Amino acid sequence: MYRMMGWASLVGNAILFLATPLSIWLGRLMFYSQRRVRKAQDSRMSLVTEYLASLRAIKYFAWEDPITEKIINARSEEQRELWRTSMIQASLNQVMQIVPYLSLLVMFGLHVGLSKRRLDAATAFTTIFLVKNIRRNIMQASAFGRNFASALVSVTRLDKYFESTVPIPHYPVGPLRIDHASFRKTKTASFTLNNITLDFAQGGLNIVSGPSGSGKTTLLLSILGETYLESGTVTRPDDIAYASQSSWLQNETIQANILFGSPMEKPRYDRVIEACCLREDFKDLPAKDTTIVGENGTSLSGGQKARVALARALYCKAPLLLLDDIFAALDAKTAAGVWKHCFCSDLLSGRTTVLVTNLPWIAEQADLSVVLEKGQIESAEPQIGIVRKPIAIAQVLGGDAEEDDALYDTVPEIQPNGGTLNDANRAPEEKHLKDVVNQEMKASGKVGRMTFLQYMSYFGHPVFVAVCLGLLFATNIFTFSSLLWLSVWVEAYNHQAHIDIPYYMGIFAGLTFLEIGSYCLAIIMFEWGAWNAAKRLHNDFIHAIMHVSLSWFKHIPIGRITNRFSSDMASLDGTISTMLRIMLDTVLLMLFRIGAVSSIMPVFMIPALFTCLFGVLIGEAYTRTAVVIKRLTSSAQSPVFSQFADTLAGLPVIRARSGMSSRFREELAARLRTWSASAEASFNANRWVAVRVDLVTALVSLSAGIIAVSRTGVVAAGLVGFSLTNANGLSQTILLLVRAMNDLEVEMQSFHRVREYAKLEPEEKDDKTYPEEDEYTDDPCHVIPENWPRSGEIEFRNVTIRYDPDGSDILTGINLKFKAGERVAVIGRTGSGKSTLVLSLLRFTHVVSGEILYDGIDITKIPRQRLRESLTIIPQEAVLFNGTVESNLDPSGRVPKHILDKALDNCKGIASFSPHTSDDSDNDTQSRDDEDNSVNLTTCVDARGENFSHGQRQVLSLCRALIRQSKLMLLDEATASMDYETDRGIQNVLRRELEAVGGGRTLVTIAHRLRTIIDYDTVVVMSGGRVLEYGSPRDLYNRRGQFYDLVYHSGEMEDLQTLLETESSQQGI
């Protein structure tokens, strides 16, 4: 360049270097902006992950809209940061674009103005060619800087995370003993286990009991090394089998969950299956023990999950077993069977067992019984010479129990889990699951080349899209106009003695700045359109996910949905729009260049057509490969997310087993290698296409040069320079176009997948419901009254229920009537249909025949949202979200604070209801406004409520139910894992609430614990999807039928008889 332009080139290069500080400053802004974007993305994805895992509870409470609004708000914050980042990037790009052009203008001005030298074609077009190459390299450096800033943010965050991790303590190996030890869940947690000294019965049964929040779970976690040891010493075996309170299962087969990496020993396996009473469950599963349990065990009931987790602990040969309240989810008969075959046999012989439970009949048979209270040992009583024996139910298995079992077996068992299909329909379900996976793989395949038009329709109004395209067209017009004007300027020297330099220079500069300005506006318009498209697609996506039927989630792993919200949305946020703009710009540029060169040198059409054909062939081959690679990348990424989430959820179980952490690390590493292999394949495919296009690029340039030489003297020098510049640029344009078109087609799969999910049909799509009273209707007799429901009266009229419209019947011939203000208990063994009966009131099932009337209106005529807002359910597993107590009690923010405070006050007497007494407390930042440090509306709640004990989470669930003031309240084994005092406190609160509303509120409770419901007004006994008995507890007991049988086999018959007599005397019977 110096040989052509002289000292003017030095000035031009100096301008390029002077722009470096500005680029560095913008790069720093990009770094900090990227960091804010990542933080906002983390916040949104935390919400998405948390809410997706709790979607069942969200639908229970009809919270879809407020939860969707929260996610959309988080997304809006993320998009604000994304817009700032895109504008910084656009500014950086414009600097990189303007500076080379400014350098070019300065060099031309100095060359013809101050130096008074002639601007010939060779000098002008060669300089432009070099400057454009410099510009392209600078743009590539800019892209590298952006990617480097993003990578630096990621590395910084990873480094910060690695530095924050705390190693798990390794206790000395030996018999299980704790000596004057104090434990804390975190260094800042207020709750502690203080001065714990326990010499556990080696090879025996050790029972730990105590009220909710006393520290039972924390004691087990402390033995595992999952807490901070502040003082004292602990010895334990190095191999421990742990069954947590909320059963953790992998998304594998039942058999794989039980084996848990151990080799199959068929005799031992069969014995464990029998001991955990799983053989009967397998009879109803077409796939037997090869049935996939689903994510979080969604294909199994709560009792089945607990028994599979117990079987996993029993099957391994670990010398120490830690079992956290495994009997809470089991009905009386199943619990008795598990007790007999597991704890009263030699299956646990020589193995130390620590069992958390509040069942008194188990504590009586323990070798060591420990009672905790407020983080301290209240009593520790060893018992010598204990011989464990079955409870009452096991003692009568040869007589009445056989008859009872025969009665129960007259109809088949069903799955009580409302989120699963019945067992008879499980084979079609699993077949459908495979079909859905295949459809997902096909959907991830090649998409149409014109899909980008559908994407641009999300930009906004068609006029906006037209303006975007018009600006790109204008940019190319100005680009070619400036080059063409340069050729005119050059030729002017051959025809004019005196050149008006300001005239030619001014027009050239004006066209150049118009090119820059139009391109700048095009970038901003495309970024704004992409921003709108991403916003609309994300909002449609989350709205569709929140309103789709729960049955859809049985077939789609949560990891796959998370992948759509993360990587696919990331493509929509930037990659797709950039590739689309480059592709459209390059198409226009290629057409202009072919037209320009061919009009001057028509023979150039031959190599140009050959080049285009070769590019199409290369591009098609690359696209087929790249699409497969993209599909494999997506398919490999989702299992990584699922495996990682699965591992995090089960860390205490995994780390407890010797060598299991290494196995899970290897499995995750293998999945990461599979994911990384696709990235390597993508890089190799890119290099493959680049080498071939570079070859054709050289051939095109050679052809253009030969044609230009052959046309010497025929075509003006300026036009020859103009043609050669465009011909050389054409080769680069073809390379860029091939890459851009094919990369765009590959990335468009993200748009296709998100759009596919955004168009999911809502569960209420085919509903034929009544309008509200204030809405216009042609039939005023069929409307929902404004003050509906006025009472909690429920009536089932010959109802038959299915989970799936094409499946088999789950409940058959149900005829029940619950009067307003009644307390109704629904009981029965596992699989009897209790949960299905309750979930049918929430319209999570399909009513095949009959009617379910709620305050006189058929619930199928009530919109699901309206129905679920009108009642309240307290599920077995309380669901809390990250935030405050106030945001958990009322996510919609509509309830006045004085009502929230009143509900908390009503519940504070139930248990030691304070974070500082929680056995799961992780947070010491709670408000301390009250003198007793009790829970208040500003108390912080960690994700999943981990800074509260299980019992305290249920109390908060009760508060949530009281706030809704529904006429119908449903309890699904809500107190199963609580101690009797807490259970009694909850029942007293419920009784007061029922009385406070003047008899209009109905309570329906599913319970295994008969003590909970012995004083209820009505009891429904179910088995196999049918009602066996229905009446008051006293009447049913006197009939000596199924209810009497359950009382007799409960192990608490005398206490229950006393409670029945007391209740009868109070009622004057």
* pLDDT number for residue 9: 74
Q: Is the pLDDT of residue 540 over 90?
A: yes
| Domain presence at residue 951 | yes
User: Residue 768 falls within a domain, yes or no?
Assistant: no
Q: Return all residues near 267 (Cβ < 8 A) that are at least 6 apart.
A: none
Read off the pLDDT band of 358 (50, 70, 90): confident
Closest CA to 375 of 486, 546, 227: 227
CB 240 within 8 A of CB 656: yes
Q: Residue 808: inside a domain, yes or no? A: no
pLDDT of residue 38: 86
Residues 664-675 have a mean pLDDT of 86
Q: What is the helix (H) or strand (E) element at residue 192, kind and residue range? A: strand 192-199
Nearest to 530 by CA among 563, 567, 578, 565: 578
DSSP-assigned states of every residue in 812-870:
EEEEEEE-TT-EEEEE-STTSSHHHHHHHTTT-SEEEEEEEEETTEEGGGS-HHHHHHT
CATH of the domain at 889: 3.40.50.300
pLDDT (0 to 100) of residue 443: 47
The side-by-side arrangement of strands in the sheet containing 192-199 is 192-199, 177-184, 228-235
List, in sequence order, every residue forming a beta bridge with 548; answer none if it has no partner. Answer: 762
Whether 36 is covered by a domain: the verdict is yes
Give tens-digit pLDDT for 467-479: 999 999 999 899 8
Helices (H) and strands (E) in the chain, counts: 36, 21
CATH code, 41: 1.20.1560.10
1048-1066 residues labelled b (16+ CB within 10 A) or e (exposed):
bbbbbeeebeebbeebeee
Could you give the count of Cα atoms lying within 13 Å of 351 in the half-sphere of its Cβ?
Answer: 24
- Say if 3 falls within a structural domain: yes
pLDDT, tens digit, for every residue of 619-636? 778 777 877 787 777 777
For residues 42 and 520, is the Cβ–Cβ distance under 8 A?
no
Question: What is the average pLDDT value for the chain, to the nearest integer?
Answer: 80
Place of tokens 């990873």: 158
Strand arrangement, sheet containing 376-382: 240-243, 320-324, 352-356, 205-209, 368-373, 376-382
Q: How confident is the model at residue 390 (pLDDT cuts 50, 70, 90)?
A: low
Q: Which of 72-81, 547-556, 799-808 has the highest mean pLDDT?
A: 72-81
Average pLDDT over residues 52-65: 88
Which residue has better confidence, 803 or 254? 254
pLDDT for 904-949, tens place per residue? 888 877 754 544 444 444 444 333 334 445 678 888 888 778 778 7
Instruction: Identify whether 96 is part of a domain.
Output: yes
Q: What is the pLDDT of residues 84-109, one digit of tens each?
A: 988 888 888 788 778 887 887 888 77
- Are 126 and 4 a contacting pair, CB within 8 Å? yes
How far apart are alpha carbons 168 and 300 in whole angstroms?
32
Whole-model pTM: value is 0.75
Among the listed residues 424, 402, 429, the one whose alpha carbon sits nearest the alpha carbon of residue 413: 424
Instruction: Give me the number of domains the chain comprises.
Output: 2
Question: What are the strands of the beta sheet with 1002-1006, ordered from one edge?
Answer: 871-874, 968-972, 1002-1006, 823-827, 1018-1023, 1026-1031
Mean pLDDT for 542-570 is: 85
Question: Which tops the pLDDT comparison, 273 or 945?
Answer: 273
Residue 398 has a pLDDT of: 31
Q: What mean pLDDT do residues 240-252 have?
A: 88
pLDDT at 1069 over 60: no
What's the pLDDT score for residue 525?
92
Per-residue pLDDT, averaged over 418-436, amounts to 39
Ramachandran angles phi, psi of 790, nearest 5°: -85, -20
CA 603 to chain centre: 59
Confidence of residue 69 (pLDDT cuts 50, 70, 90): very high
Single residue among 165, 199, 221 that ends a domain in this structure: 165
Omega before 789 within 30 of 0, i.e. cis: yes
Least confident of 391-405, 559-573, 849-863: 391-405
Residue 755: inside a domain = no
DSSP assignment string, 557-576:
-HHHHHHIIIIIHHIIIIIH
Where a domain ends, among 919, 944, 960? 960
pLDDT of residue 386: 61
Residue showing tokens 């949104």: 44
Predicted pLDDT of residue 228: 87
String of b and e for 450-470 (b: at least 16 CB within 10 Å)? ebbeebbebbbeeeebebbee
**Does residue 718 register a pLDDT over 70?**
no
Structural domain boundaries enclosing 34? 1-165
Higher pLDDT residue, 994 or 903?
A: 903
395 occurs within a structural domain: no
Local confidence band at 296 (pLDDT 50, 70, 90 cut-offs): confident
Least confident of 245-254, 278-287, 392-401, 936-945: 392-401
Write the DSSP symbol of residue 111: I
CA dist 623 → 449, 690, 801 (Å): 11, 13, 50
**Burial of residue 995 (number of CB atoms within 10 Å: 0-12, 13-18, 19+):** exposed
Average pLDDT of span 404-428: 38
- Read off the pLDDT of each residue in 994-1011 and give the average, rounded to a whole number: 77
Domain end point (choices 934, 960, 986): 960
Reported as a pLDDT band with limits 50, 70 and 90, residue 412 is very low
Question: What distance in Å separates the CA atoms of residue 274 and residue 312, rounded to the nearest whole number?
Answer: 13
Task: Give me the mean pLDDT over the 357-382 stretch.
Answer: 86
Between 24 and 455, the higher pLDDT residue: 455
